[in-house]
Amino acid sequence: MNGHIPVMLAEVLRMLAPKDGEHYVDGTFGGGGYSRAILEAADCRVLGIDRDPDAIARGQKLVEQFAGRLTLVHGEFSRLGEFLDGAKTDGIVLDLGVSSFQFDEPARGFSFQANGPLDMRMSRSGMSAADFVNTADEKALADVIFRLGDERNARRIARAILAGRPFEDTASLAGAVKEAQGPAAARLAIHPATRTFQALRIHVNDELGELARGLDAATDALAPDGRLVVVAFHSLEDRIVKRFLSERSSAAPHVSRHAPDAPRAHPAAYRLLTPRAVAPGDNEVRANPRARSAKLRAARRLAA
């Protein structure tokens, strides 16, 4: 697959509802698919953010095409308040996880489908996956693989990593993980190393921490009636988004039955636009298999 296909693009636009004269944030610019669609849907402005410098470089042609209407910034979406310099925005979209550009480039080390350096850093800076697997103790490795990969054989895999390190490329690590899983792994629907690689990627990029910080930042940055739209690709991400919006929505209970006099844990900040997660349609999944696990949630910002 070449390039990144924006997932549930029609649903994102419907929830975001771009209008002339308004301002939007694409917090995970990637290939620019959402930004382009927003700019084509209305005479508005978009701030695109991405921690991957390659994404910012690729996006310069789009900046030129929509002269004066698209601004790109290199950094984490949790810093969107800083990038907005205190201004409010009318809508924010977050497309979580790794982009197809990153996944399909062996040199980035996100996939074991083609051998490459064991990197996995979205920002190209900081601790790499190789740094972690070659220095962490057995408990730390097993905890990450179990907690972020939902891998039941995490301890066995951690022991195999310690026995086989150092690892510098994706193929050698994937092979060690597969061997540690034993013959039964051959009957799995997915490659035996899939969950381990997912866990390492999430850990190296602090993806769940970044998401939690980004949701708080989005709440502060949205203008009244502004829309927040989040597309998640695995249960850990979606659980964070679901809990955050549920706890901060007008539908959340105002008092605890255990402590009826206690103040509400979080003041209502949103009205839910999606009481349940929205999934991609069958036609989209057939055309883009990477969309199959996507879940979209959206909410409208209430006045302070």
Question: Residue 26: which CATH number?
Answer: 3.40.50.150
What is the pLDDT, as a whole number, of residue 1? Answer: 38
The confidence score (pLDDT) of residue 31 equals 92
* pLDDT category of residue 102 using cuts at 50, 70 and 90: confident
Mean pLDDT of the chain: 91
Reported as a pLDDT band with limits 50, 70 and 90, residue 210 is very high
Q: Quick one: CA torsion of 195, 200, 201, 203, rounded to 10 degrees? A: 120
pLDDT for the residue 253: 63
Is there a domain that residue 112 lies in? Answer: no
Question: Residue 254 burial by CB count (10 A; 0-12/13-18/19+): exposed, middle or buried?
Answer: exposed
What per-residue confidence (pLDDT) applies to 111? 86
Number of domains composing the chain: 2
Q: Is the pLDDT of residue 167 over 90?
A: yes
Span 222-257, pLDDT tens digits: 999 999 999 999 899 999 999 999 999 986 665 445
Count of residues for the chain? 304
pLDDT of residue 258: 52
For 161-175, what is the mean pLDDT?
96
- Look up the domain containing 281 and give its range: 9-101+207-301
pLDDT at 176 over 70: yes
Residues 187 and 273 both lie in one domain: no
More reliable by pLDDT, 189 or 48? 48
The reply to whether 22 and 137 lie within a common domain is no
Q: How confident is the model at residue 267, as a pLDDT?
A: 78
Q: What is the pLDDT of residue 3?
A: 54
Read off the DSSP letter of residue 108. Answer: G
pLDDT over 50 at 40, yes or no: yes
Residues sharing a CB contact under 8 Å with residue 172, sequence separation 6 or more, in sequence order: 164
Residue 119 has pLDDT above 60, yes or no: yes
The residue out of 179, 204, 229 marking a domain boundary is 204
> Mean per-residue pLDDT for 29-42?
96
Domain termination site, one of 204, 232, 254: 204
Over range 135-147, report the average pLDDT.
98
Q: Which of 156, 182, 204 is the last residue of a domain?
A: 204
The order of strands in the sheet holding 70-74 is 70-74, 45-50, 23-26, 89-95, 222-232, 295-301, 270-272
Q: Is 111 contained in some domain?
A: no
In the predicted model, is pLDDT for residue 74 greater than 60? yes
Same domain, 144 and 291: no
What's the pLDDT at 64?
A: 96
Instruction: Tell me, yes or no, whether 258 and 286 share the same domain.
Output: yes
Residues 258-291: tens digit of each pLDDT? 555 555 567 799 999 999 999 999 999 999 888 8
Q: Is the pLDDT of residue 103 over 90?
A: no
Residue 186 in domain: yes
Do 37 and 75 share a domain, yes or no? yes
Confidence at residue 215, expressed as pLDDT on a 0 to 100 scale: 97
Task: Give the pTM.
Answer: 0.90
Beta-carbon contacts of residue 84 (< 8 Å; ≥ 6 apart): 25, 47, 221
Average confidence (pLDDT) over 34-44: 97
What local confidence, expressed as pLDDT, does residue 106 receive?
84
Clarify whether residues 224 and 288 are in a common domain: yes
In a domain, 143, yes or no: yes
Nearest residue to 234 (alpha-carbon basis) of 120, 150, 146: 150
Q: Is 32 within the bounds of a domain? A: yes
pLDDT at residue 73 tops 90? yes
Measured N-to-C along each axis, helices 207-221 and 235-247 cross at an angle, to the nearest 10 degrees, of: 30
Both 50 and 33 in one domain: the answer is: yes
